[in-house]
Amino acid sequence: MQKLLGDHSNPPQDMAMIFYGPDRLSENSKMLYEKKMHVDYEIFSKQISVYFRGTRKVLSTLYATREEGIKAGEQYCRENGWEG
């Protein structure tokens, strides 16, 4: 479990999540994510987990596509102070 919560720079090939971290540009503004900020899309459950400024938030809505979910995760971060 610790491996899943730690560094996501090289996730296993069979991992069921898609990670977007600090080297990722925002879908809308092309601005870099903050350090330790990332948005995870869980393929099977269609849920989004957002890691932002030391907290983890699982969004309550299910997202049919990765793109919809990532945009929602980024919007959550904007609402909480990210300038992206």
Beta strands 38-42 and 55-58, pairing class: unpaired
The model's confidence at residue 3, banded by pLDDT at 50, 70 and 90, is very low
Task: Give the model's pLDDT for residue 25.
Answer: 61
Domain boundaries of the chain, sorted by first residue: 2-79
Q: Report the pLDDT value the prediction gives residue 33, as an integer from 0 to 100.
A: 87
More confident residue, 6 or 48: 48
What's the average model confidence in pLDDT over 55-75? 95
Query: CA 30, 32, 34, 39: dihedral to nearest 10 degrees?
Result: 60
Backbone angles phi, psi at 79, to 5 degrees: -65, -20
- pLDDT band of residue 32 (cuts 50, 70, 90) is confident
What share of the chain in percent tops pLDDT 90?
A: 55
Q: How many CA atoms lie within 13 A of 17 on its CB side?
A: 19
